[in-house]
Amino acid sequence: MKDILMVGRAGRASALGLGVLIIGAVVLFLSNPVAAGEKKIVYESKQSGQWEIYMMNADGTDAVRLTDTQAENRSPFWSPDGKKIVFVSERDGNKEIYIMNADGSHPTNLTRNGAQDYNPMWSPDGGRLAFVSDRDGNQEIYSMAADGSHPSRLTRNEARDYSPHWSPDGSKIAFVSRRDDNYEIYTMDADGGHPINLTQNPAEDGRGFHSWSPDGMLIAWGTDRDMNRDGNWEIYVMNADGSRPRNVTRTKSDEQMGMQVWSPDGRQILFTTTRDGNSEIYAMNRDGSDVKNLSRHPAADIQPVWSPDGKRIAFVSNRDGAEEVYVMDANGDHPQRLTFNRSEVSAPRWQP
């Protein structure tokens, strides 16, 4: 009987110890955001000698090369569900739009056309891709199903039409056109119908970058319409129908041709500016108030992108010599270098 009691006590002790180990492991797992399933970051790098696409954890660990060809692979964009990546590849001798799984497997040519196809943009539901092609003699905007089927030409104009961006509800596409002999921002229905010139200004509107607010109510863009006053590019915001355009930066520096990115909640806008004599990353409220320098470094800090939860910002910087990917808190604190390639990197983007 004594031996039985001893075995029983030992068994209970072993079970208790195992339970403690399991609980500890779970706590450790949950305390590690990457282990707990934190989003990945995809980016492009020349560390192999040419542009290829890579992916890493949000803390910079486990970087993997997703493409490996003798041609350039660039412009990676996550699908809305985070399971696929669309990108532009020159492996066929021209620019084609490819898609692959998030781990780099099963790369598939979606466009299969001898022309130049590029600038792919996912529809919000992930069902279609808008893109730019010169397959009909000049730059036009097309769309196709996410598997490459049913390509459709959306714009029909002899001028350049490019830079498509879907509205958050997927009903509209904003784009830039030269059809009025200068750069203007237009919107059209998702099927190409009812194109409308939103900016209607002799200045260069949208030559840099334009973006919808997350609620679809506003569009931010870069313009030189105040060039005669300040001799620079500024960031403007207008209603989605083109009404009430307003300058939200109002400085005498260049705002990097309008590189502006809305926060996930739509309350703030990230942008790059040279107002401090170098390229810095700033944040401001959507009305232009509460302007803050987030990067605060004498190097060039560019290409800011919000994490999906709005708590962190990934960006590119040459503060350690070569261009590398960094992250920082949304207020600019705790900058952390993620890549150590000593080569050019570009286009970091968070997994949705």
pLDDT of res. 188 = 98
pLDDT of res. 17 = 47
Distance from C-alpha of 294 to C-alpha of 9, rounded to nearest angstrom? 59
pLDDT of res. 16 = 43
Tens-place pLDDT, residues 154-174: 999 999 999 999 999 999 999
Tens-place pLDDT, residues 218-243: 999 998 887 655 567 889 999 999 99
pLDDT of res. 204 = 86
pLDDT of res. 231 = 62
Contacts 24+ apart (CB under 8 A), 239-242: 240/167, 240/172, 240/187, 240/212, 240/216, 241/196, 241/198, 242/196, 242/197, 242/198, 242/199, 242/200
Q: Which residues contact 11 (CB under 8 A, 6 or more apart)?
A: none
Of residues 152, 107, 161, the one with CA closest to residue 129: 152
Which H or E run includes 11? helix 2-31
- What is the value of pTM for the model shown? 0.87
In the chain (352 residues long), the average pLDDT of successive 10-residue segments reads 43 44 40 56 95 97 95 97 98 97 98 97 98 96 98 95 97 95 95 97 82 97 76 88 94 66 97 90 96 96 96 96 96 97 93 97
Distance from C-alpha of 218 to C-alpha of 238, rounded to nearest angstrom? 6
Q: CB–CB of 129/86 below 8 Å?
A: yes
